[in-house]
Structures are given as C-alpha cells and as structure tokens.
A = this chain, B = another copy of it.
C-alpha cells in the first residue's frame, strides 16, 4: 500500500474513537493537561494518556511540558489535515461534546493540583457493555 494512503488512513483511525474524539474536541478551546482531561471525562488517566499519544502520532496534537504537567493542544489549522476543520465543526455540534466542554470549564476553574489529586481515586471501574 502507498505510504501516503496509509498515513491518511492512520490519521482517520486516530479520530475514529469515542474517547479520542472527545479529547480532540475538548482541546479545541485551548490546552489542557492530562489530569484535567481525565477528571473532565471521568476516565482513567492512563486511558487519556494513550488517547493523547495516538492523537500526537497522528499529528493533531502537540505538547508543552511545564514541570510535572504536560499540556496538550491542537496543532495549527494549517498543519492539521484538511478534513479536520469540518470534523471539529461537526463534533462541536454534538450535545455530548458540548457537555464535555462545559465540564472542562468547571475543571479549569479549579487549581490543577486540586483537580489532579482527585483523578486517581474516583476513576470509574465498571466496564461498559460496549467499548467506550
């Protein structure tokens, strides 16, 4: 298979996943660190980290380290894939993702250490019937 086709497919796969799409959409208004995302989405921090790794691999996200924290943000529109623009608009219209953003705002209002020390504790453990 041609390299370029493979790459495009990999980038599409990266966003074809509920958690990764939620994370992507969450980052649109601005950067967030791993634990802010984990707290916002009520998902284990390791899952968020893996989601971010895929989004980074696909070239949609960049990181900025600041001490203990790694703040992730979307790459510029110019660097992103052409299909991303339409996708983000489509995503922003979804009720659940709007809810996510509202939660993120509340989380951002708190100091980061306060948010993050909660994450380890109250991550959900029950597995859903279908993949999240």
Chain A, range 5-50, C-beta contacts under 8 Å to B: 5-6, 8-9, 12-13, 15-18, 21-22
Binary interface encoding of chain A residues 100-129 relative to chain B, with 1 for a CB under 8 A from any of its CBs, else 0? 000000000000000000000000000010
Copies of this chain held together in the complex = 2
Q: Which residue of B lies closest to A99 (CB)?
A: B2
Q: In the bound complex, do residue B9 and residue A16 qualify as a contact, i.e. CB atoms below 8 Å apart?
A: yes
Q: In the bound complex, do residue B94 and residue A2 qualify as a contact, i.e. CB atoms below 8 Å apart?
A: yes
Q: In the bound complex, do residue B94 and residue A83 qualify as a contact, i.e. CB atoms below 8 Å apart?
A: no
Q: Which residue of B lies closest to A17 (CB)?
A: B9
- Chain A: how many interface residues by the 8 Å CB criterion? 32
Chain B residues lying within 8 Å of A81, measured Cβ to Cβ, are 86, 90
Q: Does chain B have a CB within 8 A of A75?
A: no
16 contacts between A and B (CB under 8 A): A1-B96, A1-B128, A1-B132, A2-B94, A2-B95, A2-B96, A4-B96, A5-B21, A5-B22, A5-B97, A8-B94, A9-B17, A9-B18, A81-B90, A83-B83, A85-B86
